Amino acid sequence: MIDTGNTAWLLMSAALVMLMTPGLAFFYGGMSRAKSVLNMMLMSFSSIAIVSVLWVLIGHSLTYAPGHGALDLFIGGFDHAGLTDIMTEVEPAADGEGGYPLLVDAGFQLMFAVITVALISGAIADRAKFGAWLLFAPVWALLVYFPVAHWVWGGGWVARMHEWTGLPEVIDFAGGTAVHINAGAAALALVLVLGRRKGFGSESTRPHNLPFVLLGVALLWFGWFGFNGGSAYAANEQAALALVNTQVATAAATAAWMLVERFRYGRVSALGFASGAIAGLVAITPSAANVTPVGAILVGALSGAVCAYAISLKFRFKYDDALDVVGLHMVGGVIGCLALGFFASSAVPGGGDAGLFTGGGAGLLAAQTISVLGVTIYTFVLTWGIAKVIDLIIGFRLPEEVETNGLDHELHAESAYAFDELDALATETPQAVSSPTPPGEETTSPRVDA
């Protein structure tokens, strides 16, 4: 029987996660330069179009359908291709109180695939060919995201590692490895292939629209309640814990980031608040239902403080991660996954293994570390290879003059802001803004500043 409450919660959660990708577009768009903001936002929105179709055709099947023999450890099969065979299937709910249509789960997980691809784009702002991105997105989803999601959630080697190692089961409640470490490692590989932007480290790359950034992080924060809460697959105590933990971890991360900024620079910034919120949201994702609220505060505070320093590493090591995808998502994801080895609690709804600081041993930390290393290495190597092949075939990097003139005008024949019209308007009626000439003084031509 279908439980309408659980089904409604999953439907709403899927819609909340869908909202996160437009939120990401605003977050990334505000952090970009004014001359390339539309291009940056379109990279997020194009991910919705590409990944949605690919997920229905083959993505869901490769992630969740049973694989063939030993290959099932690495990739699923083709039984669910097109989703036709699951349109009337009902999946038992996680709490055993009633099922939900399997198609709802397919739609929910579709939104995860979309935003994971979109997250990568922020690292290569201002210098990537849009056509190359449109080719990269489906190839990366096919060769990297679908296999890794299968490892973690579809019965692959990460999910089954405990069977032959004797270690506890790996915990990744909502996507610390499959989403955030995956996207962050891919971002690092991409920026190494594309190289640094013109003027990196010497020219200002400050966000052009901080209200956009704050609007984007607000939408992301709101949507994250569906991202984490929906991963309980039931409207129950576990979903409630995930929601509360998401809120307090994010709050703690913003507070920690602001304290670090105050200590380092003597002031607190709006960009720092927004970045701290992302760090906390990322870190609590794998552990939202496996730590207590106090544990969530500790995870959030740790991620906010560490990520505030991590984003500066790009200047030390000279890799141009334009919008801090590596510093926020890869580092935050690693913190969240490994923190389970210390703070996971067996007192949470549904129980589970405890961490080192909560009465457990080192086994969970070892399992989490293996999963983190496996995903990071695989994703980095495959992404580097994909980007290199695309660069050889069609070129991934834009010419320097396009980067200088701005991607919006050069690639899309559009502009986010009509500066030329404002300039023309300001120069059309110069007398209207000039001061009256006192009697007897020589008249001079008024000067108008656009």
Q: How many CA atoms lie within 13 A of 116 on its CB side?
A: 33
pLDDT digits (tens, 9 = 90+) for 68-117: 999 999 999 999 999 999 999 998 866 666 789 999 999 999 999 999 99
Confidence label for 200 from pLDDT (cuts 50, 70 and 90):
confident
For position 94, what pLDDT does the model report? 65
Confidence label for 445 from pLDDT (cuts 50, 70 and 90):
very low
Domains and CATH numbers, the chain: 4-405 (1.10.3430.10)
Q: How many CA atoms lie within 13 A of 275 on its CB side?
A: 31
Q: Tokens 């379109």 belong to which residue?
A: 42
User: What mean pLDDT comes out for the span 179-191?
Assistant: 98
pLDDT digits (tens, 9 = 90+) for 137-161: 999 999 999 999 999 999 999 999 9
Task: Report the greatest alpha carbon distance in the chain.
Answer: 98
7: its two tokens? 């089904």
Alpha carbons 190 and 35: distance in angstroms, whole number: 22
